[in-house]
Amino acid sequence: MSLEDHSLDTQSLFRIVGPELSESQIDAVFPEQFPERQDLVEFYLRHNGGGRTEQACLVSCGKPEHEVSRDDLEKITIEGFFSIGSNAEEKMIPFRPMLRSRAFSLRTFAAVPAMKAFLDEHMPIAFDHCGNDCWVDLQTGQIDYVMWDSWKEGPIKIAASFSDFVSNFWNTEKGRGLAWACALGGHESGIEEFERITGLKYGTSEALELCANKNRKS
């Protein structure tokens, strides 16, 4: 199922996106031909990573009450996507670079065979509200979630394909509400809390402008 089949308005969910890419640049990072790979390619041609808020490209929320448990994965809130650069040394500030992140993880887990084997066969594509990462399996195309505080328990499959992942974990009002509420002051709930603390109706032009102004000042 393609991104178009899901009728995703993904562009409106990004406050900031990475520099434009060519398809050949994406192919250099993803030479593998896994199922529904073209959906990922088309997504990165449009966005090249980025986040719901400008802050999300650099830091995660860090609030313990926003952490999800391994038994409550439907509460995962994706904050942004890693950006594709030309090499693992590229910093790409203010974006989280995909190759650099993978290289760091490979160095960190070089002496852990099971984790190194996982990293060798996956590429990080997104990160959640609390800094955990989502990885695409370069053989099957499925998306696996790694909770860094319990990595020894292994990764968790959360989507069968990239398009399912985007539809179920990115294109959601829950994610937008939580990201915006935290950008406005670190509040723990989503849309309801956003409306309570601002007095504005979620999704209106006034609410969007308020969040944009907050991002520009941060």
Highest mean pLDDT among 55-64, 95-104, 170-179: 95-104
Task: Provide the token pair at 52.
Answer: 């719901």
What is the value of pTM for the model shown? Answer: 0.76
CATH of 10-171, one of 3.10.310, 3.30.2020, 3.40.50, 3.40.1580: 3.40.1580
The more confidently predicted of residues 70 and 108 is 108
Q: Where in the chain is the domain with CATH 3.40.1580?
A: 10-171
| pLDDT tens readout for residues 142-163 | 999 998 888 898 899 999 999 9
User: Is the pLDDT score of 193 beyond 60?
Assistant: no
User: At a CB cut-off of 8 Å and minimum separation 6, what does 55 contact?
Assistant: 183, 215, 218
User: Is the pLDDT score of 16 beyond 90?
Assistant: no
Q: What is the pLDDT of residue 17?
A: 87
* Cβ count near 206 (within 10 Å): 12
Q: What is the pLDDT of residue 52?
A: 77
Q: How confident is the model at residue 187 (pLDDT cuts 50, 70, 90)?
A: very low
In the predicted model, what is the mean pLDDT of residues 1-23?
69
The more confidently predicted of residues 204 and 73 is 73
In the predicted model, what is the mean pLDDT of residues 169-192?
58
User: At a CB cut-off of 8 Å and minimum separation 6, what does 36 contact?
Assistant: 1, 2, 141, 161, 162, 163
DSSP structural state of residue 170: I
Nearest-angstrom CA–CA distance, 208 and 171: 17
Q: CA torsion 151→51→200→64, rounded to 10°?
A: 20
Instruction: Share the mean pLDDT of the chain.
Output: 79
In the predicted model, what is the mean pLDDT of residues 166-190?
62
The more confidently predicted of residues 82 and 208 is 82
The more confidently predicted of residues 55 and 130 is 130
Of 108, 148, 150, 144, nearest to 123 by C-alpha is: 144
Q: What is the pLDDT of residue 207?
A: 62
User: Is the pLDDT score of 178 beyond 60?
Assistant: no
| pLDDT tens readout for residues 90-139 | 888 778 899 999 999 999 999 999 999 999 999 999 998 778 999 999 99
Instruction: Return phi, psi of residue 37, to 5°.
Output: -60, -35
Q: How confident is the model at residue 215 (pLDDT cuts 50, 70, 90)?
A: very low
Q: Dump strand ranges (E) for the chain.
A: 16-17, 50-51, 78-81, 122-128, 133-137, 143-146, 156-159
Task: Provide the token pair at 35.
Answer: 């199922």
Q: What is the pLDDT of residue 188?
A: 41
